[in-house]
Amino acid sequence: MNEHSDQPSQATPPFSTVLNTAAPVKPEAFSFSGRGGEYFRIWIVNLLLSIVTLGIYSAWAKVRRLRYFYDNTSVAGGSFDYHGNPIAILKGRIIAVVLLGAYQLAIALHVVLGLIAAIAMALAGPWLIWRSLQFKLYNTSYRGIRFGFRGSAGGVLKNFFVWPALGSISLGLLVPLAYQRFKNYQHGQSRFGATSFSFEGKPGAFYKVFLMAFGIWLAGFLGGIALLTINGFNYGMFPTGLPVIIAIYVWTFSIYPLLMTHLQNLVWNSTRLGEHRFASNMRWQRVVFIFVTNLLGIAFTLGLYTPFAQIRMMRYRIESLTLLPASSLDDFVASSEAHGSATGEGLGDLLDFDLSM
């Protein structure tokens, strides 16, 4: 008889235990390696050549600019790429100029012609914007896998035109809902290879952000009016109330970055790529500081600080974003690549122009 037979054998741990002890997948922060000095050289050449060519070179300038920003944006050890064709971008801009010119000419010639032109643009606009959205995402890739945009012209009409119009005529009451529907469509119809994005942001969360921003602005505005009233402000004593008026304008200006910061955080915290999530942690105080110092830098350098300002803001926005993987990204990218190439095959001829700036 074995002398160790009374000792318990080392059984294989239950499957659930193996799952619970698996190493968690760590968050992957986005990083941006662009530098103001590098981008300044691209920016100044783009500006000069666009002026000399009366705007024709702006299509090539856009490709150079986007390639620089994409190449310098990375996550999980891989960077993004932009494959847009400047000829296609120029074609899109020519189409836009021709349509606007024809519309203005039709209005000048006859009211009926103007009405027909307006109807034609209303019908063609959503289709052109849909094609432009497809172009933009199809020409963006990560680790060699293209992004894509499904959607439809009808979806663009509803979310880019109808909802914003309803937001306008409702005196702003439907603006948060319109913005939520726009982001839901934009993110929900996008994909990476064969994997779809999804959007979980609810209208109530958007109303909360808009109401918070409006409440903070209203409190500051009413406080400024109260100070002017207490001091007996009138036009004859304008210098007396000038600091308060300036303070009200500055306060109003600072609300915009507050709103945009909370909206960006809400949008990305509500976005998923398959089973993977995103997290955005922008702080509005930091955004206000970057906004103000960028404006001062641009003003004091007569515009030459512009590329440095763009790099500063882009770096903060990108590096505030984190990818929260639910599983190994290597397996995810491999599975997306297997289906992504077939999904995108043949789209090059379809997505042959871009209307966006």
Query: Encoding tokens for residue 346?
Result: 């043949």
Contact 224, 248 (CB under 8 A): yes
Q: Residue 151: what pLDDT?
A: 87
Q: Residue 81: what pLDDT?
A: 95
This prediction's pTM: 0.81
Among residues 250, 258, 311, 265, the alpha carbon closest in space to that of 285 is found at: 258
Q: Residue 223: what pLDDT?
A: 80
Q: Residue 356: what pLDDT?
A: 62
Q: Residue 348: what pLDDT?
A: 41
Cα 58 to Cα 36, 181, 276, 339: the distances in Å are: 20, 32, 36, 35
Sign of the Cα torsion 84, 63, 198, 326 reads positive
Which parts of the chain sit beneath pLDDT 70? 1-24, 228, 230-241, 244, 334-357
Write the pLDDT tens digit of every residue in 259-308. 999 999 999 999 999 999 999 999 988 998 999 899 999 999 999 999 99
